[in-house]
Amino acid sequence: MENTLQEQLDCSTVKSLGAAAGGCISSADIYLADGMKIFVKKNAKTGSRVFLTMFDGEFASVSAIIGTQTVKAPKPLKVFDHNDTCYFAMEYLELNSLNQEAANLGRALAKMHLHNKEMIDTAAKQSGYIGQCSKGVHSFGFEMTTCCGSIGMPNDWHESWLEFFARNRLQAQLNLIENTYQEREALSLWSQIQRNLSKLIPNELKIVPSLLHGDLWSGNTGETDGQPCIFDPASLYGHHEFDLSIAHMFGGFPTQFFDSYHQIIPMDKGFKSRLKLYQLFHYLNHWNHFGSGYRASSISIMKTLAQL
């Protein structure tokens, strides 16, 4: 593998430093490349092209996040495949669990979420034509497929966030569930929820696309050298509240994170109900990844949303 990395990264010397802690989908190794530590994720499971798509989406996501200059993320280096195995090489960071930097992460995330709006507003002022500028992202979606876990998320562009979220996140997940489990109750509840979507995401919200992490649970955050850090993104341009939905799940984040975030971006009316709607995506996604153990949680939240 050292020779392959030398070629792919155009390095003079590469030395293996052993295995690194991986996730539930990919494993990882650490190398020393021309004196710099790099972290290399790999996946050789059946259907490796799926994982090439996953790594390509993660590369683009991290690049977009770094481009905002608001929050630290590991610098991506190269995605490649070799001998039916997919690899993603990136900067290695010495990470600790998020603790002291929780409030700073909340502030940094809020600034990341506002970055696109600030670009649009600045360009509009400079051009003198409010709403007519081309700088910034004006639609909801992303430049390519990203994967929340190992499932590809369709990111074709939509003018409406409600339409994007309903079709490209909830409907896409429910289609997978129907195909795998021949599920009927969830589909029946979904038809009822659809009638409530305009109440949950009303036009008066005036949602401006924000660059999102897309899978911001506590396991995808940390701190390094006195700075908060995020990684393993599945980015999209969407409603900023979507990133906060999974942040409240699976152990959640420290209170300081949410307090500092909402000092910059206050809660809008209906936030708590929308949080349930956005969390539904993650429950469905976990159902598709890990099986029917997540069915009860998914059905429960769907019943709540159907009765609004």
Ordered by start, the domain boundaries in the chain are: 13-91, 102-306
C-alpha distances in Å from residue 240, one per residue of 113, 138, 189, 203, 299: 6, 14, 26, 15, 25
State yes or no: pLDDT of 134 exceeds 90. Answer: no
295-306 vs 271-290: helix axis angle to the nearest 10? 150
Nearest-angstrom CA–CA distance, 243 and 281: 11
pLDDT tens digit sequence for 192-227: 999 999 999 999 999 999 999 999 999 999 999 999
* Fold classification of 13-91 (topology level): Phosphorylase Kinase; domain 1 (3.30.200)
Residue type, 205: L
- The pair of three-digit structure tokens given for residue 15, joined into one six-digit string: 């030395």
Domain 102-306 of CATH type 3.90.1200.10: yes
State yes or no: pLDDT of 9 exceeds 80. Answer: yes
Determine the 3-state secondary structure of 69 from DSSP. coil
What's the pTM value of the predicted model, to 2 decimals?
A: 0.94
Which residues are the active-site residues? 215
Residue 65 and residue 112 in contact, taking contact as beta carbons nearer than 8 Å: yes
